[in-house]
Amino acid sequence: MDGANVGDAGSPDVAASGRLLTVSEVALQVAVPASTLRSWDQRHDVGPTFRTPGNHRRYSENDVHRVLLMAQLTGQGLPASAAAEVLHGMTDAAVRARAERAGVARSDLHLVPDSSRAPAEAIIAAASAVDPVLMTRVIRGVLRGQPLDQSWTEVFVPALHEIGDLWSRGELGIESEHLVSEVLGAELRQVSRGEAMRQTGSPVILTSADRDYHHLPLLVLEAVLSQHGVRTTMLGPSMPYASMAAAVERTMAREVFLWASLPRPRSDDLRPLATPGRPPMTVVVGGPGWPAEPALPPSTAVVVKYAADLQSAVSLLLEARERD
């Protein structure tokens, strides 16, 4: 193990569920002082598989088993260097099996009390290592573990915010940002596809404002709406209003969700969306690019509402559909 933020992508590991331990948490779990753990890592290369971008140690379950065995071997009088050599010659499975035989294996590790924080860190580690396999595992683990809206709000949004901050400080490259977007986007689309057969009614059009290439919130909204049985038409990012209006016309959509991460110009005008002779369209806008009080021109033919979060976007769109 080299202590980089690359995981052992081949092993079914705690990283799959996104749960990683800090050095002090491992110290508590295995009753070895944190200073000894750091020394085993620095001097003997028996340490964590993961590092945060800030270079803090993060131990997976396999790492903890290596530490447990190291503690057992040194406790039996083997010098640390010799114990480490034994461990370096063993696979993760062998380490676990030996720990089990020795009666020190742990299946009850209380991994990170704040379970919503650790997976976000694992996502950042995978982004920083540009590791799509690890990224997929972590994201799938999160999605399996809790409802989608909760995964989004408690894990993915904090991870995306942190990734944006790291990028703006020059600590993470665009390649990492793209990787997380690609993998998260693919997994969210997978959720939507799984629900596709249940969807009914006219579609809700999902798109991002002109020249705004951010669209992950559209993908999560599509997935949550599909879980509510709502049909959607995903038009993706950066949509000119005239083209959006053409799509409304052709699909007979009565609701549009419009995302903007980047600040919108004052000249924004959604009136092209109004279709003569039809009841008013509902346009739900969301994202930090919009003012909380939509400053778009009032129009009787287009009702504009602002959604502050995923849940309110879903509620506003479901309410608008009930009125249709």
Nearer to ligand B12, 84 or 310 (CB): 310
Is the CA virtual torsion 57, 60, 64, 66 positive or negative? negative
Contacting ligand B12 (CB under 6 A), which of 165, 249, 269, 324? 165
Q: Rule CB under 6 A: which of 249-288 touch ligand B12?
A: 261-262, 286-288
Contacting ligand B12 (CB under 6 A), which of 216, 245, 253, 256? 216
Name the segment binding ligand B12 (CB under 6 A); options: 5-13, 17-25, 111-119, 157-165.
157-165
CB atoms within 10 A of CB 63: 29
At closest approach, how far in Å is the CB of 218 from ligand B12? Answer: 7
Nearer to ligand B12, 3 or 286 (CB): 286
Name the segment binding ligand B12 (CB under 6 A); options: 100-108, 126-134, 159-167, 227-235.
159-167
- Between the CA of residue 33 and those of 47, 63, 98, 164, what are the distances in Å? 13, 16, 22, 35
Angle at 192 between CA 186 and CA 198, to 5 degrees: 160
Residue 21, helix vs strand vs coil: strand
Angle at 290 between CA 287 and CA 291, to 5 degrees: 125
Nearer to ligand B12, 62 or 176 (CB): 176
Contacting ligand B12 (CB under 6 A), which of 124, 307, 317, 320? 307
Number of residues that bind ligand B12 (CB under 6 A): 30
Is residue 217 a contact residue for ligand B12 (CB under 6 A)?
yes
- Cα 294 to chain centroid distance, Å, stands at 28
Q: CA 200 to CA 211: how far, in whole Å?
A: 31
Burial track 83-110 (b if 16+ CB lie within 10 A, e otherwise): bbeebeeeebeebbebbeeeeebeeebe
Q: CA 124 to CA 142: how far, in whole Å?
A: 14
At closest approach, how far in Å is the CB of 282 from ligand B12? Answer: 14
Is residue 310 a contact residue for ligand B12 (CB under 6 A)?
yes
Contacting ligand B12 (CB under 6 A), which of 201, 213, 246, 249? 213
Write the DSSP symbol of residue 57.
E
Q: Rule CB under 6 A: which of 168-207 touch ligand B12?
A: 168, 174, 177-178, 181, 185
State the residues that interact with ligand B12 by CB under 6 A: 157, 160-161, 163-165, 167-168, 174, 177-178, 181, 185, 211-217, 221, 261-262, 286-288, 307, 309-310, 313
